[in-house]
Amino acid sequence: MAAVTHLLFDRRTLLWGGLLSLVPLLALLEPVNGRTSSESPRQMYREGQLIRGLQGTFHRQGDRVVFHASDGRRLKVLENLALERIDRTLNQSLGNPVWTVTGTATEFGGHNYLLLQTAFLAHRQ
């Protein structure tokens, strides 16, 4: 009888241990767009997603720079040397040039961020 009780206890422990190990995975199923279910969902890039050849424009928003992608998404740009070079170009240019960027998307607080790797002037608007 003790062996049967021990076997049942081990199965319950394994079952609960297995279910509890799914809790972090369930967190991934929650919306990451910072909106409630009654609001329309906003397309987000996933954490770590590589972005290649995306065109758009850079705009200042307070003390940050935001990339307005041609697909309608907006990504706050993380500060690095590539952004510093873009900022210098924006300060010298008239109009709002279109850029082609490559980088890595990140997520925080329901917003996307872009870690730039490369940015090339596509054309001026």
Q: pTM above 0.85?
A: no
- Confidence band (pLDDT; 50, 70, 90) for 31? very low
Q: Tell me the CATH number for domain 50-124.
A: 2.40.50.140
pLDDT digits (tens, 9 = 90+) for 60-104: 999 999 999 999 999 999 999 999 999 998 888 778 889 999 999
| Beta strands 111-124; 64-69: pairing state | unpaired
Domain extents in the chain = 50-124
φ, ψ at 10 (rounded to 5°): -65, -40
Enter the tokens of residue 74: 């907006």
If we measure between CA atoms, which residue out of 90, 95, 81 comes closest to residue 61?
A: 90
